[in-house]
Amino acid sequence: MKEINLVAGFDPENPLNDDLERAANAVGWKLNRITHVEPEKIRKGELEDVFPDNILWRRELDGNTQEENDMVWEWLDRNEKTTINTHVVGGRIRPVDKYFQQELYAKDEVLHNFAVPSFAVGNVSELAKLLEEKKIDFPFVLKPRYGSLGKDIIYISDMRDMLVKVAGLNNLESMTVEPYIDSDYDWRVFVIDGKAIGVMRKEGNKDNPLDFEAKSAGWQKWNEEEPEIRDETMRLAEAAARVLNLEYAGVDIIRDKRARKYYVLETNLSAGWYNGFSEVTGADVAGALVEYFVKRL
């Protein structure tokens, strides 16, 4: 029986993995969940029994160092294994950095007009210099470079607000500075094998547009049916996945409600679809991932 080897890391019981197992079984395949590999096996390169082929990398190996994870990637590449998301631009960790992503978008021929202007700063003086040089203006946000789910985003309305809020931060180097984009909706687009398979429109807390966690989660969700919006968000999402060399990605897109301009917020390397995406769009993400493996044989 053919099999998919899912690197689930610390998260083997995630419902997404059950969905992948269902999809694999539907085509007569089985799913193996890999959480940890003995360091000695990695150092010796004795991994054929662990990674025979068809590897979907969702999480880092649990209990293994970053160096050991990197060594596994190198072994997979050297042995020409069929994989998903192991040839990411910048390795596995750096692409999660929102500042790094925006730098890549800004250099891309398709996305350079849709990148969010982002700045890395080390201290308050550097932040003040950005304002002085008019590279950024109020209002703006400070976002964790490795954050997720809209958590710990800080809205800065003016100089007084900045002095109060920044004073309590220990390390600005972990943040990226971006203009605040007053949006009406966000969109999540899944891309597999270079093609968008669905678009979900999200709306957060209408009574509090600064509730970034609600905006990220989406208090209301719909399948995007407006052809113009659907085509544009799919086009941008496909380009974002290409820029990072991801075979499987969830791309988040936002639109300035006054300028009506789209921005690519970020590309998620381990995107989940149990956030209402499959329910509202009807897209079978797990099935599409399994189909991708089958097609590559």
Question: Could you report the per-residue pLDDT of 155-174, keeping only the tens digit for each?
Answer: 999 999 998 998 877 678 89
Q: pTM of the entire structure?
A: 0.94
Give pairs for 214-220: CB < 8 Å, separation 24+. Answer: 214/150, 215/150, 215/183, 215/186, 216/149, 216/150, 216/186, 217/149, 217/150, 217/275, 218/186, 218/188, 218/275, 218/276
Q: Which fold has domain 119-179?
A: Dna Ligase; domain 1 (3.30.1490)
Listed in order, the ranges of the chain carrying CATH 3.30.470.20 are 94-115+182-283
pLDDT at position 82 is: 92
Q: Which fold has domain 3-84?
A: Rossmann fold (3.40.50)
Task: For residues 37 and 9, give the distance between their C-alpha atoms in angstroms, rounded to a whole number.
Answer: 10
Listed in order, the ranges of the chain carrying CATH 3.40.50 are 3-84
pLDDT at position 57 is: 92
CB within 8 Å of 221: residues ≥ 6 apart: 200, 201, 202, 203, 276, 277, 280
Listed in order, the ranges of the chain carrying CATH 3.30.1490 are 119-179
CATH H superfamily, domain 94-115+182-283: ATP-grasp fold, B domain (3.30.470.20)
CB within 8 Å of 84: residues ≥ 6 apart: 55, 56, 57, 247, 248, 289, 292, 293
Interval 70-80 mean pLDDT: 94
* pLDDT 10s digits, 224-272: 999 999 999 999 999 999 999 999 999 999 999 999 999 999 999 888 8
